[in-house]
Amino acid sequence: MVNADTTTAARSEELLAEAKRVIPGGVNSPVRAFRSVGGTPRFIAKASGPWLEDVDGNRYADLMCSWGPMILGHAHPAVLEAVTTAASEGFSFGTPTEREVRLAEEIVARVEPVEAVRLVNSGTEATMSAVRVARGFTGRSVIVKFAGCYHGHVDALLAAAGSGVATFALPDSPGVPPSSAAETIVLPFNDLAAVEEAFAARGQEIAAVITEASPGNMGVVPPAPGFTEGLRRITAEHGALLISDEVMTGFRCSAAGWYGLEGKPVSGAPDIFTFGKVMGGGFPTAAFGGRRDVMDMLAPDGPVYQAGTLSGNPVASAAGLATLQQCTPEVYDRLLAVAETLQAAVTEAFTKYGIPHRIQTAGSMFSVFFAEHEVTNFEEAKAQDSALYGRFFHAMLQRGVHLPPSCFESWFVSASHDDEVVAHIVAAIHGAASDITQVELAGSRP
């Protein structure tokens, strides 16, 4: 047994069985099913600040923060008030509203190269639309992406297979037509030579390079110094656009996302940015934006069609705007301080118990790789002990801390993570490190 103070998941198990009857796999997004860590996903009943409470009454300190959005913690009073006020005035009109203007202004004010944004309903829609506008602008169709970067479940961007340079990628998922994947070149992250070669071979066909500004979907793997700069230089030389996907990092790594941390490449800013997660404050709103001449391609001013019944939804816009307005310098300082305390606890506990680990950060985003080597790309990210992560995940869950249920994710903190919850998590890290080492020793007996 991992631990004595085992939590019960009886009601979650019942709900999962009921869910499986009407929802494929019982979940509406695959990673929620706990397949890579095993066990029963906890059905969360409610949450407040840094705490989640499940349907069996267990409490967990939250290190997922809804995969990023809940940067202020759950049910933040100012956001709740903004949402309640907006909702009391009606849910959706299918007309322009003032709130979406204010949200767009907030985004444009924060991220300097973004001159105009269009609001959509999910990060997937943002990247899909960014790719379309890039293709429309350049009159070309090929997209370059990097293995291990996730841009939502857009057909052309699901391809992550194939390593060599400028080869045709195979679709990663049945249902993605080979014709769609054939328009996508997948290259290893942090490998500028591979990008040079791809452009040398097919530069005239490439509409855009899309990259996670600082990848968080293979664990946290920041771009090596000069990588973003190189992408900007090579794309500009060949008349292709650079799309910086900041759906995860936007407004999280800093007030201006990863762009705010890394700064503007000498050869110019990315042409298009995509946002989501934090900017919706937990509601389904996202955006893509960038250079004025590129964004002017969109209907109704230009020929590239893009639309949405609920786009710019007033309740979602209110949540996003209130969230961004609360994201002050003090909030970013607090996120960093909490992240650093947790990283120090992992380093101390894992060193003490001899658990292989490598911590990588992007602002307050960080992940703990269960490996010793530096991780600069997807291949290296995959070379870690994911089974050991699964045991650590469950040991933490038993001790009342909910980590992301996959070793290829960032850990997320919120400004509501106060000293009490941080102390709780630190104690759990030490306890869980001890738990899994004991399992190791027990397991190694003949």
Ligand X SMILES: *Cc1c(COP(=O)(O)O)cnc(C)c1O
Residues designated catalytic: 150, 245, 277
What CA–CA distance (Å, rounded) separates 83 from 321?
A: 10
Closer Cβ to ligand X, 126 or 395, answer by number = 126
Q: For ligand X, what does the binding mask look like between residues 271 and 290, x meaning CB under 6 A?
A: -----x---------x----
From the CB of residue 219, how many other CB atoms can be counted at a distance below 10 Å?
29
Give the count of residues interacting with ligand X (CB under 6 A).
15
Distance CA 206, CA 214 (A): 22
Cα dihedral: 220, 383, 186, 178 (round 10): -120
**Nearest CA among 279, 289, 301, 307 for reference residue 134:** 289
The structure tokens listed for 51 are: 């705490």
State the nearest-atom distance from the C-beta of 217 to ligand X, in Å: 5
For residue 347, the minimal CB distance to ligand X (Å) is 26
Element (H, E) at 386: helix 386-398
Does the protein bind ligand X through residue 316 (CB under 6 A)? no
Q: Which residues pair with 142 in a beta bridge?
A: 206
* Only segment of 212-220, 233-241, 330-338, 415-423 that touches ligand X (CB under 6 A): 212-220
Q: How far is the CB of 221 from ligand X (least distance, A)?
A: 12
Residue 2: CB minimum distance to ligand X, A: 30
Judged by CB, which is closer to ligand X: 15, or 157?
Answer: 157
Residue nearest to ligand X (CB): 123
Task: Write out the binding residues for ligand X, residues 214-273 only, by CB under 6 A.
Answer: 216-217, 245, 247-248
Among 123, 188, 265, 431, binds ligand X (CB under 6 A): 123
Q: How far is the CB of 58 from ligand X (least distance, A)?
A: 26
Q: What is the b/e burial string over 260-280, where b = at least 16 CB atoms within 10 angstroms of the residue's CB?
A: bbbeebebebbbbbbbbbbbb
- Residue with tokens 């530096």, as numbered in its chain: 374
Residue (126 or 422) nearer to ligand X, CB: 126
User: Least CB distance from residue 215 to ligand X, whole Å?
Assistant: 8
Piece of the chain touching ligand X by CB under 6 A; list 76-84, 150-158, 173-181, 320-328: 150-158
Q: Check: CB of residue 121 under 8 Å from CB of residue 277.
A: no
Q: Which is nearer to ligand X, 289 or 400 (CB)?
A: 289
Pick the piece of the chain touching ligand X (CB under 6 A) from 9-17, 123-131, 168-176, 326-334: 123-131
Q: Which residue in the set 152, 171, 219, 312 belongs to the binding site for ligand X (CB under 6 A)?
A: 152
Name, in order, each residue with C-beta under 8 angstroms of 99's C-beta and a sequence gap of 6 or more: 86, 312, 314, 317, 318, 321
**Is 183 among the residues that bind ligand X (CB under 6 A)?**
no
| 161 φ/ψ angles, rounded to the nearest 5 degrees | -80, 170
- Compute CA 227 distance to the chain's CA centroid, rounded to the nearest angstrom: 20
Which residue type, as a one-letter code, is found at position 31? V
Nearer CB in complex with ligand X: 277/402: 277
Residue 329 burial class via C-beta count within 10 angstroms: exposed 0-12, middle 13-18, buried 19 and up: exposed
Binding flag, residue 212, ligand X (CB under 6 A): yes
Fill in the DSSP letter of residue 165.
T
Q: Per rule CB under 6 A, is residue 124 in the interface with ligand X?
A: yes
As to burial, measured by CB atoms within 10 angstroms (0-12 exposed, 13-18 middle, 19+ buried), residue 430 is middle
Return the residue of 150, 189, 227, 369 that touches ligand X, per CB under 6 A: 150
Tell me which stretch binds ligand X (CB under 6 A): 92-100, 145-153, 221-229, 357-365. Answer: 145-153
Q: How far is the CB of 357 from ligand X (least distance, A)?
A: 23
Does 370 contact ligand X by CB under 6 A?
Answer: no
Alpha-carbon dihedral of residues 189, 193, 198, 204, nearest 10 degrees? Answer: 110
**CB-nearer residue toward ligand X: 216 or 281:** 216
Residue ranges binding ligand X (CB under 6 A): 122-124, 127, 150-152, 212, 216-217, 245, 247-248, 276, 286
